[in-house]
Structure 1
Amino acid sequence: MGIMRILIALIIFLSSSFAALSQEIGQETRGGKLFKIHAVEAGNTLYGLHVKYAVTIESIIKANPTAKDGLQVGQILYIPTNETTAQKPAEEKFIIHFVKRKETLYGISREYDVSVADIIRLNPGSDKGLDIKQELKIPLIPKKIEKPLVVDDKKPLDKKEKVEEEVKKEFEPYNPFKEDSVTVKDYKVEFKDSIVKYEVQKGETLYSISRRFMVPVEDLIEQNDLQGSSIKPGQNLTITLKKERIKEVEVRELVTIAPISKSNVNLVKKKEKYKVLVVLPMKLGDNPKALSGMYTETTSLNKLTDLSVEFLMGAQMALDSLEKLGLNADVEFFDTGGDLSRLKEKLDLSNKNNLDMLIGPFYPQLLEYAAQWGLNNKVPVIAVTKIPTKLLENNPYLLSMVPSELTMISAMARYLAKEHAADNIVIIEGENAEVKERVQYFKDIFEKSQPIANRTTAKITGVGDASGRSLMNQINTDGNNFIICLSNDVQQIMKFVNALNAAKNYSATYGRAAINMVGLQNWLDIPALNSYYRNRFEFHFAASNFLDYEKEDVKEFQIEYRAKYGSDPSKYAFHGFDVVLSQGASLLLGYERNIGLMDYFSVHPLGPNHGSENSSVFISKQKDFEIQFLEIISNNNQFDVNQRGGN
């Protein structure tokens, strides 16, 4: 059974810790079903309600669709029950268990054959930890009696039915259409359970992880011997990925690409067969198991190898889809080991073999050499990581798939100009030359993106001291405010956030004011800037991608990926799939394929004879302790590369 260690987390859903006492205020019958009415209190979570009322999280969300967006104090929830009319519940029977040294909720649940959730339900607070000699109520759950499969009054089979039954029994062991396997073309893939070793990322909860890996919260608790729903960043979880059951053969493309528009990129000459080189720093000499799929708990890969292998796996799935669309290509995956001399040797050889497209490498120094090689040999080079925009200058054969910092800043300015021009826009002045340049750039784009007749301006102000008085003077208490800080310096960021928080706390009037905080995506990685501040000010930021695990095509990709590799895809796997499928379709098949699973591609030259950059940016915000996608902004105009200062 393959075990892969996954290091990247892409979806952030932050909820409170396990609920304190919940407030049930009544009952109501709807459509013949009885619902308990619950008023949300501070600290309530969906998981806590699931434990208290012994119903699934999914059934709570089904009865209260807005609950998936987060719970608010005072919110009324209807909790489904199994009763059809309001009846007095029967008194639950239980026995007393005295906790022994080193016992856990999971171990006790196994001893009595009950669920952890049932024990927590009868013993509020037990999820926080157990004490020696503590008394626990253990529910007595009646065992279900299985009905016999054979009934006495079954009619005997006639002669024809007996023959059919015998044929069926003989054929079944060789049936390629069994529920646990799927036949595609001429080979069969068995879908078996696999295990993922997962490291909890900052801001994640058991519920968000359960959504990502499509496993119940209860299973995560039991598999990891947890005593509640509380987890910490850096904590390792074991996650069992269940085999997918497909009842019949289904040969289909993973993603359908409608040939609706021809690509205007003529960087690759049309051929019967293409040659593609994918360059990754896998360092296979140090990690011989990296491509075998034979991962175990002792398999140790460095982070760059992890990312490379994940990107490769996604790329391989994209190539499968491209082949179904008619692509005829020889694709080679080359391990540079991070060594420039190895790359030079490989590219010199590839030059003689008429290479048509180069994807990668990751290292900046290697990419700089590859970009120049691509220009000299007229071979498009696809940069899959963020690169200095300066490299795109006078090199039409370099294509960057990740928007630059200034492109994302520009996109946020355009979004605010489009959606919030009438609101109060305030920009915090820069603490150094680089940030001051960003501030002026943001202000210019914001103002120029509006119609001249109704153009509004953005104000620039200093942070002031910790009292927040300076920022108070800039806040409109009767309108919507967007306070923007474009710094990367943690000290400056926290000075700004603390001052903004002090301003909001100054009085009830300022406390009620609608204040939105706008910053950079990397603020999400600042431990001091916790979710409380980001949620209080509905933190807005621009990002290069957005991964929604609730989308059907994403779920389908996860199922296909698990079947192929026995693990769950990381963001780099999604990125590898999106990039290779998009650029393979555009450059080699001549069709645009802009919409990815995680990325969106709007790849255009920055100017005449310059390279191209993906200008599609995802605008998101944090609200109700969850990241919410707002809009995609694409900058299709041309920029002066020199103006960007290498950003």
Structure 2
Amino acid sequence: MGMKKLIYIFIVVCVLPAFGFAQEKNASKEELQVHNINGKEYYIHIVEAGNTLYAISRKYAISVDDLKKENPRLSEALTIGDRLMIPLNNIKVKDLKKSPEIDGNFLLHEVRNKSTLYSLAKEYNIEINDILAANPALDQGLKKGMTLKIPVAKIKSEQNTDEYIKPAELSPYITHKVQGKETLYALSKKYNVEQDSILKVNDGLAGGLKVGQLINIPILKETKKEPLETAVVYDSNAVKQGYALSLLLPLYVDSLENLTDTNYHQTQKKRKKLLNKAQYGIEFYQGFKIAADSMAKLGLNLEVRLFDTAHDTARVNQILKDSSFKATDLIIGPLYLEEFMLAADYAKRNKINIVSPVKQSNKILLGNNFVSKVATSEPIRNRFLAQYMADSLRGEQVIMVYPDNFKDRNRAKSLKQIYYDQTSALQDTNAAGGLVEVMWMQGDFDKLKEKLIEEEMNTLIVPSDNQAFVTQFLTQLNLLEIENIQVFGLEEWQNFQNIDVNYFQNLNVHLVVSEYIDYQSERMQSFERLFYRYYELMPEKFSVLGFDVGMYYLGLLNNYGLNFEVMFLGLQEEQLGRKFEFLKTGIESGYENHSVYLIRYADFQRYRVY
């Protein structure tokens, strides 16, 4: 019954509906779209490489002074990626109609009637020879309708300063969200900058550091910059009447439909193999559909378009070339790295937000601030473990044990450094000296036994995902039958099939994980009942993931529209199996989720500690 039901669901959900989407807007018209922000009307200009204050002021027919007044951060430097607010009230409408466009370091001027090189040089305060040098076609004479390049760098500023014609530069900061018990000292060590430098670019931090506060960390140079909160504004124009969402999942529909084999058993074998491969996509969609239906009841007007990627880059490229795909407001998937990179590049070019719902390399976030990654990376989980060691295991006998291999040595080294940074920040020298290291070699168990103290709690940190080592180590440790012991391990241990479950109970094992489902909670049990009504099946983990991703992102669309930067930096939620706590990974990079749990094994169940 279960497999038949699964196949039925698969056939139903994989029919791709041909939704009618609006045509892609003209790029220039979209750029001059009116945004209502805090009760005032603005155009929004995204600063690109080569832009200057002068060029932007000419493009929008607004004075540089008015531009700087509305955007206080411009008192320091124009940086690539800045969102400049152009107030409509200050625009000279008559001049706007004939204002030049910007092309890198040039203004593009369309020659009008009675224009001469002299009048153009006077208009832009530039030498005639500089115009001639940038426009070789002028050898044939100046003609109406020609587009001339005006080199901004050659313009002579009336204010006698280079500030107005200086090209935009990379931002000199990264943004840091303050975590619990973080100090200026710890931040200065983490980013290798002086404490005074951090204070200088954050107006002295008169109120001190506060958990959740966003502060600037100087990277390239020390300059004063407004906190990020002032740059992140709510844009009412990003709230729409309805939204289009594209879901890219590996479903293998064509392969299943085209199965042909004279041998019935061979056909069934191939079908089963394809369905196993499609299982994750099917389960994810099942949970996501329930979330979409739930949000529709709350008033969200949503069109979901389901695309079968078939784990095929050629298929993904074909999907991305579909003209209707450009009209989407949000992309979820694909699930495989190579395919996701193709879709992410497309999303960046077309300024569409895209979600990676599964574990992927953090390289998907680099240089693409339209990407958000739901699965928490190993460095984030390890940082949590080190902070927990410093904050909650102080005063205990803490022994870190790891095998002698490159990967585990590096992980242990990183963990130890973060631990020492945390204990130094807490000014707890006793805690910092309480960490004992044991690099595990074959036959070293007696050396470890000597370090255990029967009368005290012995805490063993084992930062290894080497299954052979972990299995052997826990087996030998369990033979000691020591009561005062607790072992902290990694998320990967959950998938080790050859470890006796009794060891996890006897050794009081704790694991740092990125997701946790409490099957005893009323909320989860309610979801299981609803899921069964939909599919006559009980939900799997990927169905819970699909539901969680759907509820979070669709909830954001319903409440905040496409104000994604506001969402990620200002809203934290917890769904059935994971938290959603996003932090930006870099100036021009995407957002990573910091969902972390600490679970403990007892009474043959998993309990949430944190």
Give the structure-1-normalised TM-score: 0.52
1:444 positional shift: 2.2
Q: Note closer, same or farther for the CA distance 1:487–1:264 as it changes in structure 2 (3 Å cut).
A: farther
Deviation track 1:350-407 (CA, whole Å, cap 9, x = no partner) reads 5763221100111111012112222222111100110111221221111110101121
Alignment partner, residue 438 of structure 1 = 411
Alignment partner, residue 388 of structure 2 = 415
Q: Secondary structure at the match of 1:567?
A: coil
1:270 positional shift: 2.8
Alignment partner, residue 481 of structure 1 = 458
Residue 526 of structure 2 aligns to which amino acid in structure 1?
A: E
Deviation track 1:62-116 (CA, whole Å, cap 9, x = no partner) reads xxxxxxxxxxxxxxxxxxxxxxxxxxxxxxxxxxxxxxxxxxxxxxxxxxxxxxx
Aligned-partner Cα distance in 1 for 2:578–2:291: 14
Residue 369 of structure 2 aligns to which amino acid in structure 1?
A: P
Alignment partner, residue 583 of structure 2 = 604
Alignment of 1:325-474 (within 5 A): 325-350=298-323, 353-450=326-423, 451-455=425-429, 456-457=431-432, 458-466=435-443, 468-474=445-451
Deviation track 1:462-484 (CA, whole Å, cap 9, x = no partner) reads 22443621112322322222212
Residue 609 of structure 1 aligns to which amino acid in structure 2?
A: E
Aligned-partner Cα distance in 1 for 2:350–2:501: 49
Aligned-partner Cα distance in 2 for 1:350–1:421: 59
8 Å CA contact 1:412–1:541 kept in 2: the answer is: no
Alignment partner, residue 517 of structure 2 = 547
Of residues 522, 527, 532 in structure 2, which corresponds to 1:557? 527
The ranges of structure 1 where at least 4 consecutive aligned residues each deviate by more than 4 angstroms after the TM superposition are 1-6, 263-268
Q: Which moved more, 1:360-369 or 1:420-429?
A: 420-429
Of residues 230, 242, 249 in structure 2, which corresponds to 1:273? 242
8 Å CA contact 1:586–1:593 kept in 2: the answer is: no
Q: Note closer, same or farther for the CA distance 1:306–1:630 as it changes in structure 2 (3 Å cut).
A: same
Q: Note closer, same or farther for the CA distance 1:286–1:345 as it changes in structure 2 (3 Å cut).
A: closer
Alignment partner, residue 502 of structure 2 = 532
Q: Note closer, same or farther for the CA distance 1:466–1:622 as it changes in structure 2 (3 Å cut).
A: farther
Give the structure-2-normalised TM-score: 0.55
Q: Note closer, same or farther for the CA distance 1:468–1:432 as it changes in structure 2 (3 Å cut).
A: closer
Residue 616 of structure 1 aligns to which amino acid in structure 2?
A: S
Alignment of 1:547-586 (within 5 A): 547-586=517-556
Aligned-partner Cα distance in 1 for 2:528–2:238: 34
Aligned-partner Cα distance in 2 for 1:467–1:486: 17
8 Å CA contact 1:402–1:614 kept in 2: the answer is: yes
Q: Note closer, same or farther for the CA distance 1:629–1:267 as it changes in structure 2 (3 Å cut).
A: farther
Alignment partner, residue 491 of structure 1 = 468
1:288 positional shift: 5.3
Q: Secondary structure at the match of 2:518?
A: coil
Aligned-partner Cα distance in 2 for 1:312–1:580: 9
1:431 positional shift: 2.4
* Higher RCO (Cα < 8 Å, 6 or more apart): 1
Q: Secondary structure at the match of 2:247?
A: strand
Any unmatched runs of 5+ in structure 1?
A: 7-262, 290-296, 506-510, 632-647
Q: Secondary structure at the match of 2:520?
A: coil
8 Å CA contact 1:484–1:518 kept in 2: the answer is: yes
8 Å CA contact 2:253–2:308 kept in 1: the answer is: yes
8 Å CA contact 1:265–1:587 kept in 2: the answer is: no
Aligned-partner Cα distance in 2 for 1:427–1:549: 32
Aligned-partner Cα distance in 2 for 1:540–1:571: 21
Q: Secondary structure at the match of 2:608?
A: strand
1:499 positional shift: 4.5
Aligned-partner Cα distance in 2 for 1:315–1:287: 23
Any unmatched runs of 5+ in structure 2?
A: 7-231, 259-267, 561-566
8 Å CA contact 1:379–1:397 kept in 2: the answer is: yes
Residue 277 of structure 1 aligns to which amino acid in structure 2?
A: S
8 Å CA contact 1:412–1:542 kept in 2: the answer is: yes
Alignment partner, residue 285 of structure 1 = 254
Residue 241 of structure 2 aligns to which amino acid in structure 1?
A: E
Q: What's the % identity of the aligned pairs?
A: 23
Q: Note closer, same or farther for the CA distance 1:267–1:354 as it changes in structure 2 (3 Å cut).
A: farther
Q: Note closer, same or farther for the CA distance 1:264–1:351 as it changes in structure 2 (3 Å cut).
A: farther
1:4 positional shift: 5.8
Q: Secondary structure at the match of 1:307?
A: helix
Q: In the alignment, does 2:595 pair up with 1:626?
A: no
Alignment partner, residue 614 of structure 1 = 593
**Greater share of helix residues, 1 or 2?**
2
8 Å CA contact 1:464–1:471 kept in 2: the answer is: no
Alignment partner, residue 37 of structure 1 = none
8 Å CA contact 2:487–2:508 kept in 1: the answer is: yes
What is the number of residues matched between the two proteins? 363
1:597 positional shift: 1.2
1:337 positional shift: 0.9
Aligned-partner Cα distance in 2 for 1:353–1:452: 51
Deviation track 1:443-497 (CA, whole Å, cap 9, x = no partner) reads 2222333453225122221224436211123223222222122222223223433
8 Å CA contact 1:268–1:588 kept in 2: the answer is: no
Deviation track 1:297-325 (CA, whole Å, cap 9, x = no partner) reads 99835323111111101111111122222
8 Å CA contact 2:292–2:550 kept in 1: the answer is: yes
Residue 557 of structure 1 aligns to which amino acid in structure 2?
A: F
Q: Note closer, same or farther for the CA distance 1:436–1:4 as it changes in structure 2 (3 Å cut).
A: farther
Residue 495 of structure 2 aligns to which amino acid in structure 1?
A: D
8 Å CA contact 1:465–1:499 kept in 2: the answer is: no
Aligned-partner Cα distance in 2 for 1:553–1:407: 27
8 Å CA contact 1:279–1:360 kept in 2: the answer is: yes
1:589 positional shift: 3.0
